[in-house]
């Protein structure tokens, strides 16, 4: 039997980090065993589902390059089948009509309301005490025929327990006493989550359900539905949750952008790097390797390697330099500086284009210069954005000067205001005949420094600031060379920074 897994997000917001990892694990498992990775949009909550969310989720998956097999299933399209299934269970006596008048949904904090209600019941609550559970068939039919609204609830057996062998958490058991007669169909005829999921998973012939462990109790309910339907449940694998730094729930509402996949795409992350990071959040191959290509992840992924304990996504809200997890940033930087140039180019190009820094010559005449420049500057970059921000001066004459750099490297040495234009003269004269190479540049700059009776660092850092606008970067000799003689002279003469 071929393995079929699905990723089933509800379109109530963008793709967040937890869902993304669930999608990734499903994808990796499917690819590992040569199965199918399916996508189902759980849009049965008409009030909260939006098309925009669906699009955003699809965008996120596309960015992560998690391509699905077969057509996307929209759960709402199957509502009739879900209703039919509920009616069948009713007809078979495995479900019953509940004529209890529906409570108005509490508007405030739903979670808290539920918790309060549960606590108030003080364990006194008998999950089987619904007065309509044992209503005679005749009376049930009569009341329904009279037009009285009813919900359909599953008739959970009085004695026994649900059990399944979770691929991650092992044997899971739960007494029927702890599960209420769950509603399958709302009184307005709307099918509910657990019913819809089971019906669709059966219909889609899902063999493995890989999802967050927040679904563990749902799974018991779903097993009950499978049993009522006489269908063997799939294998379940529940994933540990991804938590906020305070070990609380990571939520869109509380933590905002940092949990959204699009944030990472827009911040200049490479999908490969982020995927790699995500894969290691709750899974490990049991070895010390950290960097994995997609093919390696697929080759090494296994359900056995999934952890049971939750993982913290360690971002620092108050520190702009660590706005997201350190390791994610490090991994992205690692990819940026070690990827083959040809693989990186397709990402740098659009980045530079968007910043109006791209020139077509980089593709042919200046290809060599472009490549060596990128290889030079990418060593200290963290995201693709750095190419257009910190790297701007390499590609454009229109760049800003970092005030801190001016302060540190120029203001402190007023003589530089004269010296650097003078150095420009010197360059112009010397390199009229001499080749503009690192070696020769070093000789010229050193001689110049000695004449002025100053330290090499003063001249070099002053020049760095004028040439690149920032205080950090590669070896200054390389910078001189890659910026080129002409632009070096122009920038050394410029007084813009001094007037800033």
Partner RNA sequence: GUCCGGUUCGUCUAGGGGUUAGGACACCGCCCUUUCACGGCGGCAACACGGGUUCAAAUCCCGUACCGGAUACCA
Interhelix angle for 476-483 vs 485-493, to 10°?
110
d(CA 450, CA 456): 8
The residue from 81, 249, 252, 417 that is catalytic is: 252
Residue 492's closest CA among 466, 458, 459? 466
By beta-carbon proximity to RNA, the closer residue of 322 and 367 is: 322
Question: Closer to RNA at the Cβ: 202 or 362?
Answer: 202
* Whole-angstrom Cα Rg for the chain: 31
With 0-12 / 13-18 / 19 or more C-beta atoms within 10 angstroms meaning exposed / middle / buried, residue 257 is middle
Nearer to RNA by Cβ, of 212 and 421: the residue is 212
**Residue 155 carries which DSSP code?**
-
Residue 90 Cβ, how far from RNA at the closest point, in Å?
Answer: 14
* Closer Cβ to RNA, 130 or 396, answer by number: 130
With 0-12 CB in 10 A as exposed, 13-18 as middle and 19+ as buried, what is 478? middle
b/e code 422-457 from CB counts within 10 Å (16+ = b):
bbbebbeebbeeeebeeebbeebbeebbeebebeee
Kindly tell me which of 122 and 499 has the beta carbon lying closer to RNA. 122
Going by C-beta distance under 8 Å and a sequence separation of 6 or more, which residues neighbour residue 465?
A: 401, 402, 405, 406, 409, 410, 471, 497
In the complex, minimum distance from the CB of residue 365 to RNA, in angstroms, rounded to a whole number: 28
Q: d(Cα 239, Cα 208) in Å, to the nearest integer?
A: 13
Shortest gap between Cβ of 369 and RNA (angstroms)? 19
4 φ, ψ (degrees, to nearest 5): -130, 120
Q: Least distance to RNA from the beta carbon of 288, Å?
A: 4
Return d(Cα 359, Cα 373) in angstroms, integer. 14
215: number of Cβ within 10 Å: 17
Given the complex with RNA, which of 112 and 366 has the nearer CB atom?
A: 112
28 and 35 in contact (C-beta within 8 Å)? no
For residue 81, indicate whether it is catalytic: no
Between CA 179 and CA 165 the distance in angstroms is 18
The Cα-based distances of 72 to 54, 158, 229 in angstroms read 11, 39, 25
Closer CB to RNA, residue 379 or residue 495?
Answer: 379
Closest distance to RNA from the beta carbon of 3 (Å): 23
User: What is the distance between the alpha carbons of residues 171 and 378, in angstroms, rounded to a whole number?
Assistant: 49
Map residue 286 onto helix, strand or coil.
coil
Helix (H, G, I), strand (E, B) or coil at 116: helix
CB of 2: closest distance to RNA in angstroms? 26
Could you say which DSSP state residue 453 is in?
A: T
Q: How far is the CB of 66 from RNA (least distance, A)?
A: 19
Select 151 or 444, whichever has its Cβ closest to RNA.
151
* Sign of the C-alpha dihedral computed for residues 198, 200, 205 and 207 taken in this order: negative
Distance set, CA 489 to CA 249, 419, 420 (Å): 56, 12, 9
Cα 368 to Cα 72, 343, 364, 391, 473: the distances in Å are 44, 16, 8, 17, 20
Q: Closer CB to RNA, residue 230 or residue 340?
A: 340
CB of 241 to RNA, least distance (A): 5
Catalytic residues: 252
């Amino acid at each position: 039997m071929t393995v079929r897994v699905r990723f089933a997000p509800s379109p109530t917001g963008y793709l967040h980090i937890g869902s993304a990892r669930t999608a990734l694990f499903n994808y990796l498992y499917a690819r590992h065993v040569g199965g199918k990775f399916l996508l189902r949009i759980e849009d049965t909550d008409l009030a909260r589902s939006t098309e925009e969310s669906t699009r955003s989720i699809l965008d996120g998956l596309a960015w992560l390059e998690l391509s699905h097999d077969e057509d996307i299933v929209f759960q709402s399209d199957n509502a009739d089948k879900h209703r039919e299934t509920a009616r069948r269970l009713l007809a078979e006596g495995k479900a019953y009509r509940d004529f209890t008048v529906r409570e108005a949904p509490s508007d405030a904090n739903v979670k808290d309301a539920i918790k309060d209600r549960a606590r108030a019941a003080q364990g006194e609550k008998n999950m089987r005490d619904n007065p309509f559970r044992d209503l005679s068939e005749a009376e049930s039919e009569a009341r329904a025929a009279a037009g009285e609204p009813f919900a359909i609830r599953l008739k959970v057996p009085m004695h026994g327990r649900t059990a399944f062998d979770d691929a991650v958490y092992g044997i899971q058991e739960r007494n029927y006493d702890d599960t209420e007669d769950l509603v399958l169909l709302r009184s307005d005829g709307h099918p509910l989550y657990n019913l819809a999921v089971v019906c669709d998973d059966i219909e889609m012939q899902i063999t493995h359900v890989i999802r967050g462990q927040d679904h563990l109790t749902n799974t018991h309910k779903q097993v009950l539905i499978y049993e009522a339907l006489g269908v063997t449940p799939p294998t379940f694998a529940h994933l540990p949750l991804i938590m906020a730094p305070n070990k609380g729930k990571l939520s869109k509402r509380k933590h905002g952008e940092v949990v959204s996949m699009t944030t990472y795409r827009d911040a200049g992350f490479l999908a490969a790097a982020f995927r790699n990071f995500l894969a290691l959040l709750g899974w490990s191959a049991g070895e010390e390797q950290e960097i994995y290509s997609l093919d390696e992840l697929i080759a090494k992924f296994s359900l056995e390697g999934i952890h049971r304990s939750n993982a913290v996504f360690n971002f620092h809200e108050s520190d702009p330099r660590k706005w997201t997890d350190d390791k994610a940033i490090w991994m992205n930087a690692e990819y940026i500086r070690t990827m083959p140039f040809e693989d990186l180019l397709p990402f740098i190009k659009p980045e530079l284009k968007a910043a109006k820094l791209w020139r077509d010559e980089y593709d042919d005449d200046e290809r060599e210069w472009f490549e060596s420049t990128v290889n030079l500057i990418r060593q200290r970059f963290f995201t693709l954005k750095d190419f257009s921000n910190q790297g701007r001066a390499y590609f454009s004459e229109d760049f800003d000067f970092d005030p801190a750099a001016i302060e540190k490297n120029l203001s402190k040495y007023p003589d530089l205001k004269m010296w650097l234009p003078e150095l420009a003269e010197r360059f112009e004269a010397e390199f009229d005949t001499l080749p503009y190479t690192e070696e020769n540049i070093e000789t010229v700059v050193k001689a110049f420094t000695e004449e002025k009776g100053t330290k090499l660092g003063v001249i070099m850092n002053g020049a760095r600031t004028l040439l690149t606008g920032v205080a950090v970067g590669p070896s200054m000799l390389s910078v001189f060379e890659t910026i080129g003689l002409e632009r070096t002279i122009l920038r050394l003469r410029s007084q813009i920074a001094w007037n800033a």
